[in-house]
Amino acid sequence: MKELFSLSLKEVINMSASSDPTPGGGSVSAICAAFAASMAAMVGNLTIGKKKYKDVEDKVTELRDEAISLINEFEDLVYEDISQFGKLMEVYKMPKSTDNEKEEREIALQQALKGATETPMKVARACVRLLRIVSELAPIGNKMAISDAGVAAYLGEASLKAVLLNVDINIPNITDEEYVRNVMLERDKLISEGQSLKEKALPIIIERIK
């Protein structure tokens, strides 16, 4: 695939709307998460260097740098998601005429399904880290830009919940019961933690907007 992040935004949207399977839901969720991280980074950049916020500049700089690092991580995960989906599609094309072929295909399928599950889990973990950044930025970021921290909070949680749908669709086909149990436990924990962080940040943000 052509380098997605080298395309125009309109091209990416049109590609996502097309009949091509990628970029699909996992990739789009990661792209949205990158936008969420960009809003957190922007709030940081609009706080750093301002005399009024000198006392928190070091902390905000740290949070800004973490947000920028996450932008890069989400970009990498977009490509990883596309790659893992491609591997899964290749497995479905494997022959299954003989018992041996069926066995080889099933082994490859289980591996590919786990790969296609691990990537959205990585995105979800990164979304929680982003929401933690937003919760710390909410009380100290530049008040004139604090609504953008709210955008990061809403979009970060939405990206988290959205990307986990890709876990939900793969899990029923994975036969490793222990793996499934561990993934679902972490999935639920990530959703709960992400929601808590968003709910911690938003009242502060809303109060500072007034």
- Write the pLDDT tens digit of every residue in 45-92: 999 999 999 999 999 999 999 999 999 999 999 999 999 999 999 999
CA dihedral 70, 156, 199, 165 (to 10 degrees): -120
Three-class SS state of 173? helix
For residue 110, is pLDDT > 70?
yes
- CA atoms lying within 13 Å on the CB side of residue 90: 10
Looking at the domain 22-209, which fold is it? Four Helix Bundle (Hemerythrin (Met), subunit A) (1.20.120)
In angstroms, the CA 140 to CA 80 distance is 34
Please, are residues 138 and 156 in contact by the beta-carbon 8 Å criterion? no
CA dihedral 55, 56, 62, 66 (to 10 degrees): -160
- Write the pLDDT tens digit of every residue in 143-161: 999 999 999 999 999 999 9
Question: Helices 177-209 and 99-137: crossing angle, nearest 10°?
Answer: 20
Q: What is the pTM of this model?
A: 0.94
- What percent of the chain has pLDDT above 90? 94
- What percent of the chain has pLDDT above 70? 99
Tokens 């990628």, residue located: 22
In angstroms, the CA 116 to CA 3 distance is 20
**Domain residue extents for the chain:** 22-209
